[in-house]
Amino acid sequence: MASNTTVSAEESVSRTQNAKESRAGHFERLLPMLRCLRCKGDLGLNDNGVQCRNCATIFPVTNGVLRFVESQGYAENFGFEWGKYSRTQLDSEVSTLSERQFVESTGFSPQELKGKWILDIGCGMGRFAEVASRWGANVVGIDLSLAADVAARNLGPRDNVWICQASVLNLPFREQSFDYIYSIGVLHHTPDCEQSFKLLPKLLKPGGSVAIWLYSAYVRWYRMSDIYRKFTTKLSPKALHALCVATDPLYYVHRGLKFIPGIGSFFSGMLAYAVPMNDNPKREWRLLDTFDWYSPVYQSKHTYEEVFRWFEDCGLEDLHVLYRPIAVRGTKPLQSRTT
C-alpha cells in the first residue's frame, strides 16, 4: 500500500511538471521575436516560463499568460472590468458586433491577416484577438491588467494565440517582428497616447500596417462626463460598479421621456447630457460600457490632425481614415526614407 502511494505521488509531481512545461512550451514559437526587458538579450524556455540567456532574468508563465510586469499599475480597473464581463463582448452565433467593429476600426480583412503575425495592443478579454485568430492570423495579445488572464481563458485552446501581460511603454519584442499591429480603444488610456503609439511602428516589418482607434475630441458631450470622472476615478472598481448599477434606471427614464409629446425629447436630451451614460439596450453591455467610460485613470481625446502627424512622424505612408472616428491606418515603407 505504501509503495502504491509513493508511485501515485511521483506520478502527480510528473503530471504537474509536464503541465508547467506545456504552458511554457506554447511560447516557444515567440522566442525569436522576444527580448529581455532588462538587458535586451535572447530568451529561452524555462520550466516556469522564459529566461534570459544573458542576465538569467525569468519571466514566468502562469495561468497561460507570459508575465513581463509584476503589477497592473494604472490599469487595475480593466482587470476588474473584464473579470466581471469576461465573455460579454465575444462574438457568437447571434452577434458579430466585435468583428464589424474590428473591420471598421482597422480596415483589415481576413485575406490580409491569414497566416500573418499580429500584435494586439491592449487585448482586454480577447474580443478582437478572437476575431483575428478566427481569421487564421497568429495573434500575440498584450495587456497591462489581469484582463490578460481572462483572454488566456477565453482563447487558450487556440494554438495561434499567445497572451502576455506587459506594458505598451516597455514591450518585450524585437523590431520588425509583426506584419500587422492594431490597438482599438486602448492607447488613449495610457499616460501619454502619442508616446505609446510611436513605440509601435518600429515593431512592424517593412510593408506592414498599423491601425488605431481613439476617442474623438470633436464631440462635446464629454464635458459633463469629464467633470464626473474627477470623482469616479477615485473610487475603487467595486464601488464604481455599484454606482453604475444604482444609476442604470436613469436609462429607462431617458427612454420614457422620449414618448412624452412636445417637451419629452427636450428633457430626454437634457438628461442624457447631464448624466452621460451608455444607451445600449442590453443591460449587461450598458453597465460594462458605462463602467469602462468612468473608471480609467487616463482618458485622452484626439483629432485627425494630430493623429495623422503621429503617423507621418514615424514615416508611415498610405494613411487612411477609417469608419469609426478617430480611426487611422498606415503602412511602413518597404524601404526607409532617405533625407
**Local mean pLDDT, 10-residue blocks, the chain (339 residues):** 40 41 81 97 93 96 96 96 97 92 97 98 98 98 98 94 98 98 98 98 98 93 89 97 96 87 83 83 95 97 97 97 95 74
With a CB cutoff of 8 Å and minimum separation 6, the contacts of 236 are none
CATH of domain 73-217+301-331: 3.40.50.150
Q: How far apart are CA 63 and CA 223, in angstroms?
A: 40
- At residue 12, the pLDDT reads 39
CA distances from 336 to 205, 222, 315, 320 (A): 11, 40, 8, 20
For residue 129, give the C-alpha cell.
484577438
Burial 104-136 (b: 16+ CB within 10 A, else e): ebbbbeeebbeebbbbbbbbbbbbbbbbbbbbe
- At residue 337, the pLDDT reads 57
For residue 251, give the C-alpha cell.
436609462
Partners of 286 in beta bridges: none
Q: How do the domains of the chain map onto residue ranges?
A: 16-62, 73-217+301-331, 222-294
Q: How far apart are CA 323 and CA 142, in angstroms?
A: 25
For residue 121, give the C-alpha cell.
495592443
Side chain identity, residue 81: E
Give DSSP secondary structure letters for 248-273: TTHHHHHHHHTTSTTTHHHHHHHHHH
Whether 123 contacts 54, CB under 8 Å: no
pTM for the whole thing? 0.90
